[in-house]
Amino acid sequence: MPILTFKGGVHPPQKKHFTKDKPFEKLPLPDFVYLFTTNHLGAPAKPLVKEGDQVKTGQLVAEATSTISANIHSSVTGEVIGIESFINASTGRKDNAIVIKRTSEDIWEYIEHDENFKKFSKEELINIVKKAGIVGLGGAMFPSHVKLNIPANKKVEYLIINGAECEPYITVDDMIMKTYTEEIIKGIKIIEYIVNPEKIYVGIEENKPEAIKAMKNSLKNENIEVAILKTKYPQGAEKQLIKAITKREVPSGGLPIDAGALVFNISTTYAIYDAVINGKPLVERGITLSGGVKKPGNYWFRIGTKVSDLLNQVGLVEEEKIDRIIYGGPMMGLPLPSIDLPTFKGNNAITVLTKEEIPQKHEYPCIRCASCVKACPMGLQPYYLKKLADARKNDIAQENGIMDCIECGACSYICPSNIELVKTFKTTKKVIKAIQKRRV
């Protein structure tokens, strides 16, 4: 099979050498966890506990409140201290978080599970995923049980497991594929049993030769194909992944299922395995801690741990050398206003960017070179959308596809005038959505 790719994209420095060969380490259990009730896309979960309640690891502490919502479970064994508000970088606002003080080592509360997953019906498996509170762990945090519940008028032709991991610095999915190969395959088979696809692919960028080899060796006797992808950003974006592998395009405003595809991230696939086979709700996950830290690596941590606690485990470089600290990677990551904030389910990395790596750049006027047009993976005209957004011509910006922008930052990265195009698009999209909401 040839190396696959999509039109557009950029080639930022990969910076994966810091951690790509670092095996997983388990971080010590935190003394406190802070569990956002908005640990997913959609409606906040409803707290089921109150101050003074004793909880076990894996115990349900907040339940989904609507179709697009997800359960929250305690990630430690301890006592509920109360509910506090914190800035949630994933939503950009202050959200409630259940605060739990750890009082002992883990005493687990498991959900229904079985090594023989085929003893369950498809509906029962979807319910297990729902009970476990599993969401998209590549960053989107869309509830996985909703994605698995395919509409009656739709058919999954392609199941794609996303191992591209194109964001610089991040290596957590790469390490999962190399370390937990058989578990990933079992997770794929569980998803296959539920959605009955015609074809299954595991998409991996060519810069992960060991993961490609591990997956290929374990899939020799399986009807699952490893699709080798060109190392290019944003190859791991859902629409670009689908285009590269299937040559199909997700329609504007549509979902992958509208193109006959269903995409699951490697970490999400592992979480589905862990829930169905081992009965573990989503309370821990893998994370890459990299950049300006003294002990970069891949780690398992408990969801709800404060960022400061994670960074204390790996050590920061001198404060005066740090430019910014972000949830995720440098292209699509969210800058932290403070490290005294909780982690959430979608945290696949904490990246510390130094001033040496992020030199201060002066912004110049657009020279209409069209570099952003060539780089845009969605085929948009970023320079023109910026002009429309600045003039607040939001209706015309919509007509020209601004809502199709995936906010990957390729346009900002490639711009020779250092114009932060994607920041403008994010703001404009929020304004458009707010206006649409008011009209409803």
Tell me the per-residue pLDDT of 26-49, one tens digit each, with 9 for 90 and over. Answer: 999 999 999 999 999 999 999 999
Same domain flag for 247 and 125? yes
Nearest to 265 by CA among 397, 174, 131: 174
Same domain flag for 268 and 383? no
440 residues of the chain, pLDDT tens digit each:
689 999 999 999 999 999 999 999 999 999 999 999 999 999 999 999 999 999 999 999 999 999 999 999 999 999 999 999 988 876 778 899 999 999 999 999 999 999 999 999 999 999 999 999 999 999 889 999 999 999 999 999 999 999 999 999 999 999 999 999 999 999 999 999 999 999 999 999 999 999 999 999 999 989 999 999 999 999 999 999 999 999 999 999 999 999 999 999 999 999 999 999 999 999 999 999 999 999 999 999 999 999 999 999 999 998 889 999 999 999 999 899 999 999 999 999 999 999 988 878 899 999 999 999 999 999 999 999 999 999 999 999 999 999 999 999 999 999 999 999 999 999 999 999 988 888 76
CB 268 within 8 A of CB 134: yes
376 among annotated binding-site residues: yes
Tell whether 149 is covered by a domain.
Answer: yes
166 among annotated binding-site residues: no
Helix (H) or strand (E) holding 86: strand 78-88
Tell whether 182 is covered by a domain.
Answer: yes
Same domain flag for 254 and 396? no
Tell whether 364 is covered by a domain.
Answer: no
Tell whether 46 is covered by a domain.
Answer: no
Tell whether 134 is covered by a domain.
Answer: yes
Q: Which pLDDT tens digit goes with each residue over 213-264?
A: 999 999 998 999 999 999 999 999 999 999 999 999 999 999 999 999 999 9
Same domain flag for 253 and 142? yes
372 among annotated binding-site residues: yes
**Measured between alpha carbons, how far is 237 from 406 in angstroms, rounded to an integer?**
8
Same domain flag for 269 and 381? no
Amino acid at 189: K
Q: Which pLDDT tens digit goes with each residue over 44-85?
A: 999 999 999 999 999 999 999 999 999 999 999 999 999 999
**Domain region containing 378:** 371-439
Same domain flag for 274 and 382? no
Domain-terminating residue out of 257, 278, 299? 278
Angle made by CA atoms 109, 112, 117, in degrees to the nearest 5: 140
Buried b (16+ CB within 10 A) or exposed e, 194-207: bbebebbbbbbbeb
| Neighbouring residues of 145: CB distance < 8 A, sequence distance ≥ 6 | 70, 126, 127, 129, 130, 134
Would you give the DSSP letter of residue 316? Answer: B
Same domain flag for 392 and 250? no
Domain-terminating residue out of 278, 300, 316? 278
Same domain flag for 266 and 389? no
Length in residues, the chain: 440
Tell whether 352 is covered by a domain.
Answer: no
Same domain flag for 250 and 140? yes
Same domain flag for 266 and 385? no
Tell whether 342 is covered by a domain.
Answer: no
CB 19 within 8 A of CB 298: yes
Tell whether 131 is covered by a domain.
Answer: yes
Same domain flag for 129 and 233? yes
CB 98 within 8 A of CB 61: yes
Query: In this structure, what CATH number is given to the domain that contains residue 205?
Result: 3.40.50.11540
CB 111 within 8 A of CB 57: no
Nearest-Å Rg of the Cα atoms of the chain is: 21
Domain-terminating residue out of 235, 254, 278? 278
Other beta carbons within 10 Å of 304: 27
Q: How many domains does the chain have?
A: 2
Same domain flag for 272 and 375? no
> Which segments within 131-256 are labelled E, that is strand?
158-163, 199-205, 225-229
